[in-house]
Each structure stands twice: as C-alpha cells, then as structure tokens.
Amino acid sequence: MKTFRGSLLAISIMVVLAAVIMWQRPTLFAPTVSEGAQIFSFEKHELMRVAVERPDDDTVVLVERDGQWVIEGSGHQAGRSMVNRVKHQIHDLTARAVVVDTPDKPELFGLGNHATLVTLTLRDGREIVFRVGDPNPTSVSYYLQPAGSDVIFTVQKAAVDYYSLTLDEFRERRFSTFDSKDVVAFTAKVDLPDAQYELTMDRIGPRQWNMTSPINMSADNDHARRLLGRVSALKAVRFETRDPELFESQGLDRPRVDMEIRFSSRPPIRIRVGADAPRDSRFDALAYVLKDDDDTLYVARSGMLETFAKDPATLRNRRVVKVEADDVVAIDAVLADSPEASVHGDAGVRYAAEQWVWKDGVPVSGSTPKRVARRFAELEVEEFVENPSDEWTRYGLAEPYARVVLRNREDGQRVIRIGGAGPSAKDSEGHSRDRFYASVEGEDGVYIVHSGLVEVVRDLVRESNRKDARDAEKAARRERIGTVPADDKP
C-alpha cells in the first residue's frame, strides 16, 4: 500500500512539473501545421484586387471595376483566366508541409528581399498578404510565408508560380469577344488574292439574316454565326505597340479584311486584319490585327481569313421554309396522280392535346406527321436554280406533283410545292439518287431538293388512304347491318 501511494505521489509531481514547463516554454510544445492544413479561406466572389510586387520593382495590380477586371495604370483588360486562377488557387489554399517555425534566415527560402509580395483585397476591406519564395529542391513546390506569421510552408507549384510571369501574361488575350446574339449588323471589306468584295448583312429576326451586298439574298443563320464566332474568338499570340508609321509595312493601310460589327446594346467595334506577321514557334500563320483605336497592335492567328476567302454565295440561306418544326400545328398535303407512283390523294393532320390526329380527331399512330413537319420545316435545299425561267411548267411547278401546307401556332402558313424530277446527284458511295424541283409559294426561287421530301408525303397520304379505306369499310358494314330485316337478325 505504501508503494502504491509513493507511485501515485511521483506521478502527480511529474504532471505538475510538465504543466509548469509548458507554461514557461509554450513555444516548445506549440503544435505544428500538418500536411493539408488550410492556410487561407475566403469566397471567390469576395476578391476585388490583386497586387503583385516583385523584387525587380515590376508591380502588377489587377482590380475589378464595374464588373470588369483591368490592369491598373494601363487600362488594359485583365485576363479572365488569370483572375480565375488567383481565385481558384488561393481561396482555400492548403499547405503541403511546414518547413520550419520561426526561421532565422528566410532568405534561404527566397523569402528575403528577393521575395514576391502578394496582397489580395476583399470586398469587406480585409487583406490577405503573403510572400512567395523559391521553388523547393525538387521544384514541385514553392515556399510561402503569410504576413505576420513565423511559419514557412510549401505549397503546390501551380498555386503561386504564375506571379513571376510577364505583364503581358496578365492581359486578356481575347480582344474582340462579344455575344453573337447581340449583333444586329456587320459589314466587311474583303481584299484577298481570290476574293474582293464588300459584305453587308443585317439581322431581320432571331435566326434570320439578310445579305444586301455583294448579293441580295436571305443568308444562312448558322453560317453567319460561324463567321461572327471566328471574329469573337480572335486571340492575341503577342502584343505590340501600335505605331501608325508602321501601318504600311504591316498591311494595315490596306487591310485584307476591314470589318465593323454593330450591336443592340453596345457601341460598334472595328477589326482590321493586315499582313502576315513573323511566325511564332507555336503557330504557323499569324497576322497583324487592329481593334478600333486601341493603343495595342495584336498579333493573332490568321485562320479567320479562310472564312472570308469563300464565295459569299455560300452564305446563302438554304433553309427556305423559315418555320420551326416544333411550331407546326397542322399539315395538309396533296399528292397528284403519277404513272411513276401508285400513291396519290390528300391528307390532313392536326396537333392537338399533345398528339397528332386526323381531321376527324382520331389519333395518328406512328411518327409520320412529325417526320413530315420536321423534313419540310427544316428543309435545306441542295442547289439553287440561278435565274429560273418564268415558265414554271419547265420545272413541273405550275401543276405540282406534291403541295404541302404547314401552319404554325400563330396561324401563319408556308406552302411548299414539289415539281418534276430534277438533275440527279451522287451519294457518298457514288450511287445516283433522285432529286426534285421545289418552290415556296409567294417567292420567286426555284430549288433542287432531296427526294426524301417526296417519300414522307407519300407515307402520309398512304396512311391517310388506308384510314379512309378502313373507315369506308366500317361504314359499309354498318350499312349492311342496318338493311338486314329484323326477323333475320340473330
């Protein structure tokens, strides 16, 4: 019992001594930050300013103004990818390891006078300040020290290595970005070896464009969007100082493409593409590009010129019916008698209560009405008949083989006529396939279309004829039953 009491007393004395030592020397037992511990924490949207002070006195400041990030002192737009990189990498930065507490010689880690000082300012006025030092011996991590801390951490290389990049790397490289849906018109003077013309296009509807020069015609929406998309995607490979005295040598006094784009919600922009620029090791074909009155001359890839080198006629709108398939609520079709086909007659269907029905309200089985609506509404002509003759009997359109009426939800209608056989074409395997002449009532154009249009009309009329035959048979059966004498009925 005495031995037990002695052991208990010894343990108590050791606990008291340990407590005293810890109270006297708190740093001796201070817990260290383990791998994966979080260094900084803030919401990405809170960031509004980034200041990078480098040892060579080259300071870069990115600041958000009116929702746009700019490089302070230059007015140049800051790169969205760079701003997003800062937000993504720092907002929840974690340590890979703790190198040392209370370092006596921070310069050993590149954290002395040659460190990069980064200050992040949040919307509530808080500042997150840290120094970035050298890479570690394996070059997979960098040394970092938060301001006011005696601890040096290693963090992943991608979190901080970009702070040493040149000023140009902090600039936005996409210099002509815009929303193609906001464009109301654009013009372009094109002076290429195999293409010299002036292009003028106006938006006349949500998905409709009209070209007035060099050809007066309806223009294809998809082609117009692709053209605008190539301009909006222009990206600077490098930046140079704008110098009007060099415009002649840079081909900007007589640009190969001089484009102006007008918008519904912002001022217009002007883009000029000059001569070829010296090539970069990463890209083959480059060109000098000017935007408006920027003080910068951009060097960008010249692939956009391929779009303008094409014949403007390729912009012609091949979707001539100008109706959306999902808006079609009624179809009426007439198929003339023909020695080449056994099917003829008329058919009519309506879309009601989320389904297609015949004129008498009986639901249509199968997908034929939907196929007819889509095939005709989204009709893309294969060829345009240039300067068609006024004598439409030449194309079989005076008395068409097929006449299809599409009605939409607003009670508008488009009438498509399918005439005689047109010149055949070869498919991808070299086989000949039939085509037909077609037109849209009320318009002068004559087109050559795929034979698939005729096939879906035949399917609709064939199904309608079969229904009429079944209805006639049922009616005849009821009539026969009604004429049987009462005494003879079972």
Percent of the chain residues past pLDDT 70, beyond the cut: 90
Domain termination residue (choose one: 170, 197, 212): 170
Percent of the chain residues past pLDDT 90, beyond the cut: 65
What integer is the mean pLDDT of 389-405? Answer: 89
The verdict on 118 and 205 lying in the same domain is: no
Question: Is residue 203 situated within a structural domain?
Answer: yes
Confidence band, pLDDT 50/70/90 cuts, at residue 36: low
Question: Is residue 32 situated within a structural domain?
Answer: no
Domain termination residue (choose one: 268, 294, 315): 315
The verdict on 337 and 450 lying in the same domain is: yes
Q: Total structural domains in the chain?
A: 3
Confidence band, pLDDT 50/70/90 cuts, at residue 480: confident
In this predicted structure, what is the pLDDT of residue 19? 47
The verdict on 415 and 433 lying in the same domain is: yes
In this predicted structure, what is the pLDDT of residue 6? 53
In this predicted structure, what is the pLDDT of residue 181? 93
Question: Is residue 147 situated within a structural domain?
Answer: yes
The verdict on 359 and 466 lying in the same domain is: yes
pLDDT in tens, 82-98: 999 999 999 999 999 98
Whether residue 168 contacts residue 239, with contact meaning beta carbons closer than 8 Å, is answered with yes
Q: Which of 27-41, 428-442, 460-474 has the lowest mean pLDDT?
A: 27-41
Question: Is residue 14 situated within a structural domain?
Answer: no
The verdict on 292 and 200 lying in the same domain is: yes
CATH number at residue 417: 2.60.40
**Is the pLDDT assigned to residue 309 strictly greater than 80?**
yes
pLDDT in tens, 192-217: 998 999 999 999 988 889 999 998 88
**Is the pLDDT assigned to residue 332 strictly greater than 50?**
yes
In this predicted structure, what is the pLDDT of residue 75? 81
In this predicted structure, what is the pLDDT of residue 468? 94
Question: Is residue 35 situated within a structural domain?
Answer: no
**What domain range includes position 392?**
325-474
The verdict on 435 and 412 lying in the same domain is: yes
Average pLDDT, the chain: 87
Tokens 């110098």 locate to 243
What integer is the mean pLDDT of 260-274? Answer: 96
Q: What CA–CA distances, in Å, run from 335 to 365, 403, 456?
A: 21, 7, 11
What phi-psi label fits residue 28: left (phi over 0), alpha (psi between -120 and 50 degrees) or beta? alpha
The verdict on 336 and 458 lying in the same domain is: yes
The verdict on 213 and 265 lying in the same domain is: yes
The verdict on 246 and 332 lying in the same domain is: no
Question: Is residue 12 situated within a structural domain?
Answer: no
pLDDT in tens, 238-262: 999 999 999 999 999 999 999 999 9
What phi-psi label fits residue 366: left (phi over 0), alpha (psi between -120 and 50 degrees) or beta? left
Question: Is residue 19 situated within a structural domain?
Answer: no
The verdict on 193 and 88 lying in the same domain is: no
The verdict on 291 and 360 lying in the same domain is: no
**Is the pLDDT assigned to residue 188 strictly greater than 90?**
yes
Express the helix, strand and coil content of the chain in percent, nearest 5 each: 30, 35, 35
Instruction: Identify the bridge partners of residue 379 per DSSP, sorted by sequence position.
Output: none
CA angle 154, 159, 162 (to 5 degrees): 120
**Is the pLDDT assigned to residue 391 strictly greater than 80?**
no
**Is the pLDDT assigned to residue 17 strictly greater than 50?**
no
Rg for the chain (alpha carbons), in Å? 38
Question: Is residue 5 situated within a structural domain?
Answer: no
The pTM assigned to this predicted structure is 0.70
In this predicted structure, what is the pLDDT of residue 280? 79
> Phi/psi of residue 4, each to 5°?
-60, -45
pLDDT in tens, 93-118: 999 998 877 677 888 899 988 899 99
In this predicted structure, what is the pLDDT of residue 20? 42
Among 36, 53, 38, smallest CA distance to 120 is for 53
Q: Which of 49-53, 72-76, 373-377, 462-466 has the lowest mean pLDDT?
A: 72-76
Query: Looking at this protein, which amino acid is placed at residue 388?
Result: P
Confidence band, pLDDT 50/70/90 cuts, at residue 410: confident
What integer is the mean pLDDT of 427-456? Answer: 91
In this predicted structure, what is the pLDDT of residue 29? 28
In this predicted structure, what is the pLDDT of residue 483? 61
In this predicted structure, what is the pLDDT of residue 31? 33
What integer is the mean pLDDT of 37-65? Answer: 92
338 in helix, strand or coil? strand
Domain termination residue (choose one: 170, 204, 234): 170
The verdict on 166 and 190 lying in the same domain is: no
